A and B are shown apart, each in its own frame.
Chain A
Amino acid sequence: NLIVRCDVCGLIVIWRKKSIESRGGETAIRIGMEYISETGLRLDGRRVLESRNIFCEIGINPKSDGSARFEIGNTKCIASVYGPREARYHRDTIHDRAIVKCEFNSVHFSQSTRTTSRKNDRRSNDSAEIIRETVESVLLLHLYPRSQIDISVEVLQSDGGELAAAINCVSLALIDSGCPMKDFICASTSGLIDNTPLIDINYAERGANGPVLLIAALPKSQKIITMQMEHKLELKNLDRCIELGLQGVSQVYEILQETVRKNALQKFQSREQLGV
């Protein structure tokens, strides 16, 4: 085994022998970075079915109608919701429901090297579209015709799973704003490295170039709203990845639910029974 410091993430990793190939009289030993140790630990010490530590906070932006902060491991993001309010452009409005406008932005210092990409680049727009479609299927938009709901997400620190973190953050912000919803929206990533399915892929594990599947689902009914993947995945592995993604969703839901509950009890603890 070789012990080296990884160029990408700075972690000390183990490269172990993966296979020996013989071709045309020459023997080559193929080595690869060890993402999952023999004892079942990943690079950051997690087990295969564990998400990273989650921390979230509600009501951080006093100017907005609803806001939240969500951190999973080293990935941090904040979201603000404004609405339902008067639409900016009347030509955009729909006569029988509200429209949702979403902005997704990574700040320039979110990754290890400073990025100078413009705000409206293709990746951000794609992510914003995914968030918008996810949210539109959960909000009860028919209650507010000809109105607009604005959602703004900023990724402050990027360590893998930004879109999943953004969806969780938006879900909390929508709950804080009091927009009627069918259920929480929880999202998680799952992936496949060395034929082992994993929950919650971080940036270092993304370097393994295995498939990473994003799943956003309604936690109570386990109904999937959104799935996204940019890699190739064999069909026989898909079921297992989806199952793990839903497990990740349940893990996130536990924390979100606890935070929302504590927040609501704190806000209402000084109320006596109204008896109105």
Chain B
Amino acid sequence: MIDLLVFPGDVVTTSKKNEKTRISSGLIQNGDNIQSSKVGFVRKDLRKKCLWIDNHQNRYIPSVEDTVIGVITERHSFQYKINIGAPRDAILDALSFEGATKRNKPNLQVGDLVYCRVVVANKHMEPEVSCISLHFKKEWMTGEALFTRLEDGYVFECSLEFARKLLSDDCFILNCLGKYIPFEIAIGLNGRIWVKSSRIVLTIVITNCLLNSQHINNNKRMEQMVRILLDRV
């Protein structure tokens, strides 16, 4: 059933005895059957070893270990309220930055963009995000931390599956753009993409290339499109 297009109510698989099947977003258990609740393609996540439905969606539903881009909406004494596009706003603890202490912590303002990681996400609680990375242990003061405030640049929204596509290993458009323009990009799984390059005009070109690449499926044509947009600059 992998890579097959399913509709809500379609039975994807039945649970077998002595075999565990992990199911993720878009799949629900109905008795012995595992049914799809969305229109999309059935995929198997090899890292997490679970089945999920790859569908077109604009609304982000938070899930633990997702990397997202949020906008700070409120400042409190020990935490920030941050909008990640989910059904409820998330909480960012003021000290959840690498090397942060009460005297030495980043001073984020309302409206700041933060690239962060979802730590708590379930339907009962407000989601929580954090800027502490498990692998890259650079302190927040150095400005080289992985999860940090995003300064300058330009952020735009897209559908969730486009963000996933950009994060995949064989994403052609990012490699293609990288050949022509040096740029920095942060991709949030909540459908937000932040782009920064040396000139504003180049940032606009990169944004337009990314938005156009959603509809082009031929690598050669994609490269042509990038060259056409760059020629105008």
Contacts and interface: CB of A to CB of B under 8 A. Distances in A.
Interface in A158-200: 175-178, 180-184
Given A140-B28, A140-B37, A270-B216, A177 B5 contact: no
B226 to A, nearest CB: 15
A182 B7 CA distance: 9
B9 to A, nearest CB: 4
B20 interface: no
B98 interface: no
Given A177-B59, A271-B165, A276-B46, A145 B123 contact: yes
Assign chain B's interface to a size class: 35 or more
A85 B55 contact: no
Given A85-B59, A140-B28, A143-B123, A265 B216 contact: no
B217 A180 contact: no
Contact of A267 (B56, B89, B124): B56
B46 to A, nearest CB: 7
Contacts of A65: 57-59
Interface string B170-187: 100000000000000000
Interface string B78-90: 0000000001110
Find the residue from A84, A143, A264 having the highest chain B CB count within 10 A: A264
A86 interface: yes
Contacts of B26: 180
A276 B217 contact: no
A274 B100 CA distance: 37
Contacts of A144: 87, 123
A147 interface: yes
A274 B41 CA distance: 11
Interface of B: 3, 5, 7-9, 26, 28, 37-41, 43, 45-47, 54-59, 61, 87-89, 123-124, 161, 164-165, 168-170, 214-217
Ranked 3 nearest A-B pairs via Cβ: A270-B217, A178-B57, A180-B37
Interface of A: 65-66, 83-86, 98, 140, 142-147, 175-178, 180-184, 218, 220-221, 257, 260-261, 264-265, 267-276
12 contacts: A83-B59, A83-B87, A85-B59, A180-B37, A182-B9, A182-B37, A183-B8, A260-B7, A260-B39, A261-B5, A269-B217, A275-B46
